[in-house]
Structure 1
Amino acid sequence: MHIVLDRRPDGGVTATTLDAAAMPRTTVELEASGLVEFVRTHEPEHPRWVWSSTTSWYPGLLAGGIRVQRCVDLALSHRILRTSQLTAGSVLARSPATPWDEVVRGVTAPPTAPGAPALFEVDAPAPAEALNPVREFQAQQAAVAGATRPGPLRLLLAAESAGALVADEIRFAGMPWRADVHDQVLTEALGPRTAAGRPARLEMLAAQIRELLHAPGLNLDSQPELLAALRRLGLDVASTRKWELRDLDHPVIAPLLEYKNLYRLFTANGWAWLEAWVHDGRFRPDYVVGGVVTGRWATSGGGALQLPKNIRRAVVADPGWKLVVADAAQLEPRVLTGLAADEAMADAGRGRDLYDSVVSAGVVASRHEAKVAMLGAMYGATTGDSARLKPRLARAFPKAVALVDAAAQQGERGEQVVSRLGRTSPLPGGAWHEVQQRASQPGASSADERRARSQARDWGRFTRNFVVQASAAEWALCWMAELRLKLAELGDGSLENAPHLVFFLHDEIMVHTPAEFAPEVEKLVREAAAQAGRLLFGTFPVDFPLQVATVDTYADAK
């Protein structure tokens, strides 16, 4: 059963129940104040709630003490269906832009392209009268029914909508956070907080660095000034990135690297961050579901996807509760295994560390080389150890390497690639095609040809990784969706008293649970991972092993 919720211009709500053919069966007019009770009454019937955007509807229900089991997020589904190759012939995909395209506007270039935005931009919603959720849902149902592979696409839309529920529940419940421990971490690393200016440790390092660089007035936070100062010392550097500085031999390097680490801690997760983001013992991440073109999540504030290790000491379970932290080992290589149906790679990773198995098989000499070779194959490395080791990997796992090579070739031709369930990569923009066309003209210069080849390879590297990263994001969505439903069956199922998700990072999740449920939660986490693998790859025998730890503080999980 589907129940479509729509806000009326007068502030009330229209609730329309649809029949199996997605046609209106009954309609109820509600006052805004009656929505929570209406949902509470009908949720035991396990409907799939259909609404414009989960972030617009669900927080109010959560505040009223209501968790829903299932929903259809029309905005997120619209974005997928408008761009998926599986629905390219549908009326929805071929129609001119509508207000639904503006609820969440997608980027049109990969995050790896120069100058391209990494996130979907969240716009103010279109006026309510311009959004007809019943008609939009009917158009989406028709697009899926006519898709070249409707089954996987239905799973993707359900998983994406479930992810939206998870994100709002994480935001509502929050990650348990000890502000006093956070303050202690900052004080130990930076020195006591000052009323104005930077902490003592940063100032001391800054003075030491200026002296070693013979630059008393140097602004260390200005990259051009710092780069110029390093070069004046005769240091051959192209940037001030940490990985490049580590290779230099000079007394200034050690304090400079320490300064950069502490400065990032101070600016990204310092006292200002603590005051802005931690309230009532909770950090509430502001996730953007599908915020990257591959379907990975992003954040619109708080930096939940980049919590440094030393700050994790502040993530402490409530008294009588535990944190169950789980991450999927070598997720992307294992997803590639399933995508390519590479039996040899599946055998190598069954019940053991995939990289260790590659070494044991004599493909490479060390685990480090195995990881470098695998990542190079997925990300398109063309130089160094990755390029040197790739032929060995191709001989050992021909299907897997052939799949990503084919995806790269499609990208180099300006074509799209598709994830396991149907999310589709964006097309390169007009400027990309102009460069390619210019290089193919009779009068093209060698510079034109070099630029076109370089640009084509860049796009090929994007599509090479897109098929793997997007499919891995789908696996993670299915993992969380399965786990969320199972956790809701424990205890009273509430966010206050029962186990619930409080954190997600690509291939890692965290559950906050009453201590007595921790063993059962560990079991459910593993079962949900196995079920996610079956949903994506059926009976193909690819393992998705997890590292699971039940701890009191996040810092003890790894």
Structure 2
Amino acid sequence: MGGVHVVLTGPAAELPAVVREGEAAPEPPRWTWDDTNRWYPDLLADGVRVERAHDLRLARVILRRSPLAAATPFASTAPDGWDGLEPAPASRAGAGGTPAPDALFDLGALAAPSRRGGSDAAALDPASELAAQTAAVEASTDPGRLRFLLAAESAGALVAAEMHHAGLPWRADVHDAILTERLGPRPPEGRRPERLEALAVTIRDALDAPPTLNPDSHPDLLKAMQYAGVGASSLRKWELETIDHPVIAPLLEYKKLVRLATANGWHWLDTWVRDGRFRTEYLVGGVVTGRWSSVGGGALQLPKDVRGAVVADPGWALVVADVAQLEPRVLAAMSRDEAMAAAGRDGDMYAGIVSSGVVATRELAKLGMLGAMYGGTTGASAQVLPSLGRAFPRAIALVEDAARAGERGEVVSTWLGRGSPAPGESWERAQAGAYESDDGGGARSYTRSWGRFTRNFVVQGTAAEWALAWLASVRRRLWALGETGATAGAAPEPFARRPHLVFFLHDEVVVHAPVGMAEAVERELREAAAEAGRLLFGQFPVEFPLTVAQVQSYADAK
């Protein structure tokens, strides 16, 4: 929230010109608005990029729930319109989402209340909201952390809008060829693809079922399987794989291809790919831990089957980077567990745990660490937890303390101050029921379940904060690399000649870059990861190593 906050005065039609002028200043202002997607897409459509912004909607969600601001009046005031403000869709730009002419005002001096017409924010006063948020941060128990978190969250909103604007390069012809190879030629509407129809026949034959059996009807299919003596109680993959019967192999293949056809088939291609780009809408902070979610097209679940269609423009490359074992490294840094940080010093933390003599195999190290962070209480993860606790006492104590806090109904916090949701009335009823009856088993089960949630919340949420810091640094560094003198890409301005982010998935990013700038992009990705670690954890000796690949197709990155 630092720096000069500026909002504009004048007609909305002048917005791009005024922002261009502000961005050309030696110290560009921090543009403050109610919701990034209500303003930024139209600016991008005019080729205007902003360096910094403050998203009041996202900041309010954080401040209302943060334990760091819990004692401030801001946290305890009655809900109002800001609490109910829904994120605007990124695709709304130019279709009724343009701010009204009287929507522009100057927040540099916290101007008098202004009103916007024609949107969900019509009755909201951004000037007063910014003043209230600033006061809440200053009155919090750790203003520095909250300022960092709000700046990172707002930067994430800029990244999300820019990735929607630029789009992920997507070859529709390659996608169609992948579908044709796996499923057969595109069928008429309402018909199964050729390969699925052939598998349906094989399934019926293996079950000695009539031609009317529809393998897409789970009740009918299970009934036919029981009649044939298959012995399956469900269609879950793990159960089917334990059964020896001729129907199992074709059924598993059918299920796999059905997922491809329904989730990323021809209908998906027709709906989501336009002009060589796939554009989804990312929801920054869409998960309570701060992780992103998405609306439309399933961007966060792009299967390997179709990644071959993600192809760089001619003369360009995809630079794909992901960080190894992000959450365990974050846990080591949060807890200041130097022994655990040292285990990840050579790249593979799980291998480092084995080398230090804590457990016998890498698989056990991984299972044990995942169990510690997610609350695994059975099997191999439970068996190795005592060894991990002795080797890394500070790290294991941190997640155990978070779990116990959750079980007591308390709110826990990420490193920068994002608060977990309170357990709510269901938790309270379960606890009350335990006192009113002799059987507290239901309450204990609910309590332990909430403890598993808070145990992971502190780690996953802090990992999301590291990723936000990484994204913000990458975004700034890519812009600073400047324009290519070679062939422009198909992305719209202001990214046609610049390397730019096109995809993000928790601990992985994809940058679309001119081939001649790919090496520089890789260097900046690595330096941004190191910078994110320093910004969050200071000089604590934890490393965030990246695996980076320069490829033409996303399918070749791993």
TM-score (norm 1): 0.89
Match of 2:538 in 1: 538
Match of 2:13 in 1: 33
How far is the alpha carbon of 1:385 from its aligned partner?
Answer: 1.2
Q: Which amino acid aligns with 1:201?
A: R
Q: Which amino acid aligns with 1:528?
A: A
Q: Do residues 170 (structure 1) and 163 (structure 2) align?
A: yes
The 1-side partners of 2:240 and 2:132 are apart by: 55
Match of 2:42 in 1: 60
How far is the alpha carbon of 1:234 from its aligned partner?
Answer: 4.5
The 1-side partners of 2:82 and 2:478 are apart by: 33
Select 1:211's aligned residue among 197, 205, 215.
205
Q: Is the alpha carbon distance of 1:432 and 1:254 closer, same or farther for their aligned partners in structure 2, counting shifts above 3 Å?
A: same
Q: Which amino acid aligns with 2:157?
A: A
Secondary structure at 2:482's aligned position in 1?
A: coil
Q: Is the contact made by 1:522 and 1:548 (CA closer than 8 Å) also made in structure 2? A: yes
Select 1:465's aligned residue among 453, 456, 459.
456
Q: Which amino acid aligns with 1:74?
A: L
How far is the alpha carbon of 1:103 from its aligned partner?
Answer: 1.1
Segment of structure 1 superposing worse, 385-394 or 494-503: 385-394
Q: Do residues 486 (structure 1) and 477 (structure 2) align?
A: yes
Q: Is the contact made by 2:6 and 2:29 (CA closer than 8 Å) also made in structure 1? A: no
Match of 1:183 in 2: 176
Number of equivalenced pairs: 514
For 1:364-409, what per-residue CA distance to the aligned partner results, in whole angstroms no more than 9, with x for missing partners?
2221111111111111011111111211211221111111111111
For 1:403-438, what per-residue CA distance to the aligned partner results, in whole angstroms no more than 9, with x for missing partners?
111111111111111001011110112122111111
Q: Which amino acid aligns with 2:23?
A: E
Match of 1:316 in 2: 311
The 2-side partners of 1:240 and 1:147 are apart by: 52
Segment of structure 1 superposing worse, 169-178 or 202-211: 202-211
The 1-side partners of 2:452 and 2:119 are apart by: 36
Aligned pairs for 1:68-87 within 5 A: 68-87=50-69
Q: Is the contact made by 1:91 and 1:139 (CA closer than 8 Å) also made in structure 2? A: no
The 2-side partners of 1:402 and 1:229 are apart by: 51
How far is the alpha carbon of 1:218 from its aligned partner?
Answer: 3.2
Q: Is the alpha carbon distance of 1:229 and 1:424 closer, same or farther for their aligned partners in structure 2, counting shifts above 3 Å?
A: farther
Aligned pairs for 1:331-350 within 5 A: 331-350=326-345
How far is the alpha carbon of 1:261 from its aligned partner?
Answer: 0.9
Aligned pairs for 1:468-547 within 5 A: 468-492=459-483, 494-547=494-547
Q: Is the contact made by 2:72 and 2:139 (CA closer than 8 Å) also made in structure 1? A: yes
Q: Is the contact made by 2:474 and 2:525 (CA closer than 8 Å) also made in structure 1? A: yes
Q: Is the alpha carbon distance of 1:158 and 1:461 closer, same or farther for their aligned partners in structure 2, counting shifts above 3 Å?
A: same
The 2-side partners of 1:244 and 1:432 are apart by: 33
Q: Which amino acid aligns with 2:206?
A: L
Secondary structure at 2:32's aligned position in 1?
A: strand
Q: Is the contact made by 2:477 and 2:524 (CA closer than 8 Å) also made in structure 1? A: yes
Q: Is the contact made by 2:346 and 2:352 (CA closer than 8 Å) also made in structure 1? A: no
Q: Which amino acid aligns with 2:463?
A: A
Q: Is the alpha carbon distance of 1:391 and 1:228 closer, same or farther for their aligned partners in structure 2, counting shifts above 3 Å?
A: farther
- Percentage of matched positions with identical amino acids: 59
Q: Is the contact made by 1:4 and 1:51 (CA closer than 8 Å) also made in structure 2? A: no
The 2-side partners of 1:434 and 1:228 are apart by: 40
How far is the alpha carbon of 1:495 from its aligned partner?
Answer: 1.0
Q: Is the contact made by 1:102 and 1:126 (CA closer than 8 Å) also made in structure 2? A: no
Runs of 5+ consecutive residues of structure 1 not aligned to the other structure: 6-14, 16-27, 106-123
Match of 2:294 in 1: 299
TM-score (norm 2): 0.89
Q: Do residues 377 (structure 1) and 356 (structure 2) align?
A: no
For 1:152-185, what per-residue CA distance to the aligned partner results, in whole angstroms no more than 9, with x for missing partners?
1111100000000000000000011111100000
Q: Which amino acid aligns with 2:41?
A: P
For 1:225-279, what per-residue CA distance to the aligned partner results, in whole angstroms no more than 9, with x for missing partners?
3344444444554532223322222222211111111101000000110111111
For 1:515-537, what per-residue CA distance to the aligned partner results, in whole angstroms no more than 9, with x for missing partners?
11111100000000001111111
Segment of structure 1 superposing worse, 86-95 or 516-525: 86-95
For 1:41-72, what per-residue CA distance to the aligned partner results, in whole angstroms no more than 9, with x for missing partners?
11122100000100110000000110000000
The 1-side partners of 2:283 and 2:61 are apart by: 14
Q: Which amino acid aligns with 1:513?
A: A
